[in-house]
Amino acid sequence: MSGISASLTPPADAVAAVRHPDAPAPGELLGAHYGQCFGCGEDQPHGLHLQARAGEGVSLTAEFTVQPAHQGAPGLAHGGVLATALDETLGSLNWLLRTIAVTGRLETDFVRPVPVGTVLYLEAEVTAVAGRKIYSRAAGRIGGPDGPVAIRAEALFIEVKVDHFVDNGRPQEIKAAMSDPDQLRRARAFEVNP
């Protein structure tokens, strides 16, 4: 059985999402939003190293290969890791809106077991926007981009200011991020009005 909770149903006044004119072109790799990110960071040795690519409209695709370090049961991906892959894929949609947002709610269906070594082919799209609330959904397929769905999720992201991170993050990482020109460039790529 599956179904989504009421808080993931866009309200009546929700509107269609609009791709930002400066969003990466369809087919372009989005890159990591933060080098130490567990989902996408290239400098994070324990992470998923998920790579997302812009699609048409406010959609994207992503790939992630399940590693031995991602096991829950012997030879199978941990459910939390799979939820992370969905969360990261959904969060990457914000590059296309050029909006900084954090996950408020994530509902996940685990449909099929995912063995170690599997390439997960993920796809995600924003379904609606209502003020600061961004509604989206994602699915992960195995065996190829058109293979059967193994995992899927619906999510609600909430737009925040960059202060959300500055005020709440551990000072040493915030200080390092703020003195890293590459990180500031990435942060600016997310914001319409930095």
Ligand X SMILES: CCCCCCCCCCCCCC(=O)SCCNC(=O)CCNC(=O)[C@H](O)C(C)(C)COP(=O)(O)OP(=O)(O)OC[C@H]1O[C@@H](n2cnc3c(N)ncnc32)[C@H](O)[C@@H]1OP(=O)(O)O
Q: How far is the CB of 87 from ligand X (least distance, A)?
A: 7
Query: By CB under 6 A, is residue 190 in contact with ligand X?
Result: yes
Q: Calculate helix-pair angle for 171-178, 181-190, nearest 10 degrees.
A: 90
User: Rounded to the nearest 10 degrees, how much is the dihedral formed by the CA atoms of 40, 42, 46, 51?
Assistant: 40
Query: By CB under 6 A, is residue 174 in contact with ligand X?
Result: yes
Query: By CB under 6 A, is residue 105 in contact with ligand X?
Result: yes
Q: First and final CA of the chain: distance in angstroms?
A: 43
Q: Residue 79 in contact with residue 114, Cβ under 8 Å?
A: no
Which of 19, 23, 24, 33 binds ligand X (CB under 6 A)? It is 33
Query: By CB under 6 A, is residue 49 in contact with ligand X?
Result: no
Nearer to ligand X, 153 or 187 (CB): 187
Nearer to ligand X, 91 or 140 (CB): 91
Enumerate residues 75-104 that contact ligand X by CB under 6 A. 91, 100, 102-104
Q: How far is the CB of 165 from ligand X (least distance, A)?
A: 4
3-state helix, strand, coil in the chain (%, to 5): 25, 30, 45
Q: How far is the CB of 180 from ligand X (least distance, A)?
A: 9
DSSP string, 148-194: -EEEEEEEEEEE--THHHHHHS-HHHHHHHHT-HHHHHHHHHH-S--
Nearer to ligand X, 74 or 171 (CB): 171
The amino acid at residue 69 is: A
Stretch that binds ligand X, among 23-31, 66-74, 143-151, 170-178 (CB under 6 A): 170-178
Nearer to ligand X, 53 or 164 (CB): 164
Q: Calculate helix-pair angle for 181-190, 79-97, nearest 10 degrees.
A: 80
Binding mask 119-138 for ligand X (x = CB under 6 A): ------------xxx-----
| List of residues 6+ apart from 185 with CB closer than 8 A | none
List residues near ligand X by CB under 6 A: 7, 33, 91, 100, 102-105, 131-133, 156, 158, 160, 162, 165-166, 174, 177-178, 187, 190
